[in-house]
A and B are shown apart, each in its own frame.
Chain A
Amino acid sequence: MSDSVSIVIVSHSPAVARGAADMVREMVGEEIGIAFCGGNPDGGLGTDVGAIASAIDSVWSPRGVAVLVDLGGAETNSEMAIELLDSEKSRRVAICNAPIVEGAVMAGTEAACGSSLEEVKKTAEEFQS
């Protein structure tokens, strides 16, 4: 698992995050690390910097971690969470500018092929339905 880039999915909704993660898991099985988080610190819709940082840590891979986000605050909070990691780690985490579900599936598939973080990010971002 640590041979591949891992995927973290961050949505305002825990159900969306879990659903997107399920779809990636169905595509790639147990080949890569997949974590997800959603909901604000009170459990409502929103995102939680601490939970995002924990999700990244839980699937940490020396190859890197690709993060898929949904709207506004999910991106801002993910950027903040990445900065809170130690600098060695934070350099190997990338937020993909891609739709959360499609991007996660594309990123997961690319990661399962053993591709680099840059390639995983590019594949997710180039996806056009």
Chain B
Amino acid sequence: MTQKLVSRLIEAIANSIIANAEVLTTLDQAIGDGDHGANMRRGAKALKTQCDEISSLEFAAALKKAGTAIVMTVGGASGPLYGSALLGMAKAASGVPKNAKEASVVVRAGIDAVKARGKSDAGAKTMLDVLVPVQSEIESGSSIARIRTVAEESLEATKPMLAKKGRAAFLGERSIGHADPGAKSAALIVHAICDVLEAQ
């Protein structure tokens, strides 16, 4: 059961990232260095290549293996950030979370790892501006539909924000008015996970 779930999650997340790589690149060209799409696509392809091997593992080991694959292949700052999220989740997970409460603990551990790696928090116009509110929804037992909405609203909410981290921070006030590419990739991942869970 774990095997099927993990391989479905990898397929859904990787396919969504690959399909939207150009969108991520366009967003990143506006306020960053324009490599987010290409970097994320490289990570997604590595996950697909290693899908069988990763999904043959226990859940926590699968998270760790996927995190390592991302760290070693992505090449931009998003590699260590998403990689650390998976490695952080791997440390907190025992098996597949059995309910929303358990899932929220695992996701929180992943988010804490991103905060530590990026020396950042919500409010700096980053992926955390999507991940943090989504985690709160999971923790309070919200429906999948609600989680999707919050991911989308949180992504939109990054537009008026002033970037404080990464290359976008160099732009200062010029970063205002554009959605954050990391928040966009985070929202894509959240939606892909929701797709898989809804189809269960």
- CB-based contact B118/A76 at 8 Å: yes
- CB-based contact A42/B167 at 8 Å: no
CB neighbours (8 Å) of B79 from chain A are 49, 73, 76-77, 80
Closest residue of B by beta carbon distance from A48: B75
Q: A25-58: which residues lie under 8 A (CB-CB) from chain B? A: 40-42, 44-50
- CB-based contact A79/B117 at 8 Å: yes
Q: Is B76 an interface residue (CB 8 A)?
A: yes
- CB-based contact A76/B75 at 8 Å: no
Total number of B residues with any Cβ neighbor in A under 8 Å: 22
Q: Is B18 an interface residue (CB 8 A)?
A: no
- CB-based contact A42/B75 at 8 Å: yes
Q: A48-75: which residues lie under 8 A (CB-CB) from chain B? A: 48-50, 71-73
Q: B79-113: which residues lie under 8 A (CB-CB) from chain A? A: 79-81, 83-84
Q: Is B166 an interface residue (CB 8 A)?
A: yes
CB neighbours (8 Å) of B75 from chain A are 40-42, 44, 46-48, 73, 77
Measured in the bound complex, the distance between the Cα atoms of B35 and A40 in whole Å is 10
Measured in the bound complex, the distance between the Cα atoms of B1 and A127 in whole Å is 57
- CB-based contact B81/A76 at 8 Å: yes
CB neighbours (8 Å) of B80 from chain A are 49, 73, 76-77, 79-80
Closest residue of B by beta carbon distance from A47: B75
- CB-based contact A41/B76 at 8 Å: no
Q: Is B73 an interface residue (CB 8 A)?
A: yes
Binary contact readout A2-22 vs B (1 if CB under 8 angstroms, 0 otherwise): 000000000000000000000
With A40-B75, A42-B75, A49-B72: A76-B117 Cβ-Cβ less than 8 Å: yes
With A40-B42, A47-B75, A73-B75: A80-B84 Cβ-Cβ less than 8 Å: yes
Q: Is B39 an interface residue (CB 8 A)?
A: yes
Measured in the bound complex, the distance between the Cα atoms of B33 and A79 in whole Å is 20
- CB-based contact B38/A44 at 8 Å: yes
Closest residue of B by beta carbon distance from A45: B35
